[in-house]
A = this chain, B = another copy of it.
Amino acid sequence: MKIYFAGSIRGGRDDKELYLQLIQYISQYGQVLTEHIGEKNLTEFGETILQDHGIYTRDMAWLREADVVIAEVSTPSLGVGYEISKAEDMNKKMLCLYRTEPNKRLSAMIGGNANIKIAHYATLEEAMILIDNFFNQSKGVE
């Protein structure tokens, strides 16, 4: 099982520790292709070895290769929005995890889209249960 995990990089790294914890948890279900999203040294300046076109090409290849997509959508990100749209085009099994916070709302283009499964959570433990449910259901329909 290959998993594409999407999270914000240049949109802001406020959630980087959470991404790392989610990636570590998700790894029990398969190979997370985008492990670098959880890197604690990866700042919002982004990757520095690959140029932007290289990053785009690699990430699109990983997205095509992935069996499932898990996106953490609490931090607004152009790249994550773009990836969710492409994953939808590719009919990937996808879960969007959104951490509920006062005075914040998920984009209507994501939250109002009936093709996209959104799971709201408050704690890491809740997110883990949602991830378990997603993989158990995915198994069921294969």
Contacts and interface: CB of A to CB of B under 8 A. Distances in A.
A32 to B, nearest CB: 18
A9 B108 CA distance: 10
Contact of A82 (B45, B51, B85, B103): B85
Interface in A59-111: 59, 73, 75-86, 89, 103-111
Nearest to A115: B56
19 contacts: A10-B104, A11-B107, A44-B105, A45-B103, A45-B105, A46-B105, A46-B108, A51-B112, A52-B111, A55-B108, A56-B109, A75-B76, A78-B84, A78-B106, A81-B81, A81-B85, A82-B82, A82-B109, A83-B109
